[in-house]
Amino acid sequence: MPKIIRSKTSKLKYAIVANLISFYVRLCGFFTRYIRGGDKNAIEIDKRQRVIYAFWHNQQTFLLYPYRKQGKICVLVSMSKDGEYIARALPKFKMKAMRGSTTRGGYSALRGLMDISQAGYNPAITPDGPRGPIYKAHSGIIYLAQKTQLPIIPAGVASSHKFSVNSWDKFQIPLPFGKCAIIYGRPLWVGEDDSIEECRIKLTEYLNEATAEAVKAVS
């Protein structure tokens, strides 16, 4: 995987911002009431084996605090400058970062996720990232599931207290003193002979269903 070269000033800036992200997310998380639920089969699968987590790009911040103690999670993070902030914040929540995306470093990131899943980690991917279109899964996560034979667990997330930034995905930032729902959708297995396109469409459907349930739970 290509190395990302940063100046000393940039490294300091990223370190400061990563610490601010960690502090803010923990502050919001401490004052948030979390609701978990969804597909019972997906919940049971998550308890007993390695899985691939899927969630929409604009919801990722909400998952840092509730999954901070779970461990063995490796998140695919884009190689953009914005992705650098997330990559540096993840270890503060006991998560690993794998750099790459569908547009940059895609093959090496896929290979890396396959290797790290063999080491006992659960890959976590935003399948509509890093550039969209919003709420539409790309095929990379389907290839990963096919090669690793791990089930995809779609997680829909919604918060009653948040604000959205002006970006392609309307990225959501948590606010304290609200409710946050994490709803597991129908699990998806991808067989060796399954259609990548059909599975991609199914994952999009499952994620949107789970997100709609999460929105209803905090309304």
Q: Is pLDDT larger for residue 99 or for residue 106?
A: 99
Distance CA 212, CA 191 (A): 27
pLDDT digits (tens, 9 = 90+) for 145-165: 999 999 999 999 999 999 999
The amino acid at 210: A
H/E element holding 82? helix 81-89
Q: Is 125 helix (H, G, I), strand (E, B) or coil?
A: strand
Report the C-alpha gap between 36 and 181 in whole angstroms. 6
DSSP label at residue 188: B
Whole-prediction pTM = 0.92
195: its two tokens? 């259609």
Residue corresponding to tokens 């690793």: 148
CA distances 167 to 57, 127, 170, 212, 217, Å, are 11, 17, 5, 21, 25
pLDDT, tens only, 56-100: 999 999 999 999 998 899 999 988 888 899 999 999 999 999 998
- Contact indicator for 42, 54 with CB cutoff of 8 Å: no
Average pLDDT of the residues in 131-140: 94
Distance, CA of 172 to chain centre: 13
pLDDT in tens, 107-118: 788 899 999 999
**Residue 119 burial (10 A CB sphere; 0-12, 13-18, 19+):** exposed
SS3 181: strand
Whole-number pLDDT of residue 104 = 64
pLDDT of residue 76: 95
Kind of pairing between the strands at 179-184 and 172-174: unpaired
